[in-house]
């Protein structure tokens, strides 16, 4: 048996297209484009790659991009002051501070300063709390994108067993909340879970977000399971220093057992950026007192 490969890249391209199509009506109504401010502190190579991709996608969708790159040595109070300026800036609908932030900056303290209405990452406690109690909120991009892929593949998720592996605030916890809202029976597994293979085997849905390359093996899966691999890990593949991106799931063995699986790269990753644009558009409409754009 060979699993269906879920084409996140194609799905993300369609979502980006939907966002781009909705921009002219906003411009017509407000006389400006929706704007996304991206803040990068320091020179972490992976973060630089992600930020470049986010800026490029923002411009391609016809949104305004405000880029702020500050040195590694930036003081927390200067970063806070920048976020406060962006909160006040009427052209800015979304604020994204790329994580991780260099030590000794306190990430939680910085996120707490972001206006929840502009928090397109959905990381502010006001948005995390709203998600937990089922109120309208800005939802973290990666879990929102993962859910869109699951609904596309499975339709109604009601009653399905979902196992989320990982309990981060960025992915695991919001993913579990979203699946619960869809009436799944949700288990959150993590590094202290006893007998992880046994827990994972319950899952009609498995979402892997642990950051351990190829850890989840095909033999651990329930036959026919839908597997969403959030991991992006760079591994060395030869003694010349060649590297390759892999997920948290061992793709080769998983495709023998799963019903469907997202590849790495080309699965969840592209969805994250597409949802960021979607969240920016949604935030822009909400801030402007306009109804949410159709279908988004």
Binding region for ligand GUN (CB under 6 A): 96-99, 121, 141-142, 170, 272
What is the helix (H) or strand (E) element at residue 279, kind and residue range? helix 268-287
The CB-of-99 to ligand GUN minimum distance in angstroms stands at 4
Do 228 and 175 contact (CB within 8 A), yes or no?
no
Whether 54 is catalytic: yes
Whether 69 is catalytic: no
The CB-of-213 to ligand GUN minimum distance in angstroms stands at 17
Partners of 38 in beta bridges: 67, 96
Q: Which of 98, 177, 182, 214 is catalytic?
A: 98
Tokens of 101: 């932030």
Q: Between residues 121 and 204, which has the closer beta carbon with respect to ligand GUN?
A: 121
Provide the greatest CA pair distance for the chain.
58
Give the three-class secondary structure for 206: strand
- Classify 195 in phi/psi space as left (phi over 0), alpha (psi -120 to 50) or beta: left
Q: Between residues 97 and 188, which has the closer beta carbon with respect to ligand GUN?
A: 97
The CB-of-48 to ligand GUN minimum distance in angstroms stands at 12
Whether 98 is catalytic: yes
Number of residue whose CB is nearest ligand GUN: 99
- Could you give the C-alpha distances from 291 to 25, 44, 118, 226, 296, in angstroms and in order? 12, 38, 16, 34, 11
Q: Between residues 98 and 182, which has the closer beta carbon with respect to ligand GUN?
A: 98
Q: Between residues 39 and 260, which has the closer beta carbon with respect to ligand GUN?
A: 39
Question: What's the CA gap between 100 and 79, in Å, rounded?
Answer: 14
Q: Which of 18, 33, 54, 229 is catalytic?
A: 54
Q: Which of 18, 118, 119, 121 is catalytic?
A: 121
The CB-of-32 to ligand GUN minimum distance in angstroms stands at 24
What is the set of active-site residues?
Answer: 54, 98, 121
């Amino acid at each position: 048996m060979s699993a269906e490969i879920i084409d996140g890249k194609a799905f993300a391209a369609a979502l980006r297209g939907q966002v781009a199509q909705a921009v002219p009506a906003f411009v017509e109504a407000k006389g400006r484009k929706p704007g996304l401010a991206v803040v990068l502190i320091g020179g972490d190579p992976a973060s630089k790659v992600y930020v470049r991709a986010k800026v490029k996608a923002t411009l391609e969708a016809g949104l305004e991009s405000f880029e702020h790159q500050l040195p590694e040595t930036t003081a927390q109070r200067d970063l806070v002051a920048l976020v406060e300026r962006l909160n006040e800036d009427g052209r800015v609908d979304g604020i994204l501070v790329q994580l991780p932030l260099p030590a000794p900056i306190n990430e939680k303290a910085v996120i707490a300063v972001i206006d929840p209405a502009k928090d397109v990452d959905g990381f502010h406690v006001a948005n995390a709390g709203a998600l937990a109690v089922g109120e309208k909120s800005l939802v973290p991009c990666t879990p929102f994108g993962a859910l869109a892929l699951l609904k596309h593949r499975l339709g109604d998720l009601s009653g399905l067993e979902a196992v989320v592996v990982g309990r981060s605030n960025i992915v695991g916890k919001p993913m579990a909340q979203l699946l619960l809202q869809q009436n799944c029976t949700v288990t959150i597994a993590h590094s202290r879970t006893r007998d992880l293979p046994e827990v994972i085997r319950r899952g009609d849905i498995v979402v892997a977000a642990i950051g351990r390359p190829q850890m989840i093996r095909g033999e651990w899966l329930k036959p026919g399971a839908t597997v969403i691999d959030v991991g992006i890990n760079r591994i060395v593949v030869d003694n010349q220093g060649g590297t390759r991106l892999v997920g948290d799931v061992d793709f080769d063995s998983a495709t023998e057992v799963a019903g469907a699986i997202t590849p790495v790269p080309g699965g969840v990753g592209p969805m994250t950026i597409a949802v960021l644009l979607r969240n920016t558009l949604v935030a822009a409409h909400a801030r402007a007192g306009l109804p949410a754009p159709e279908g988004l």
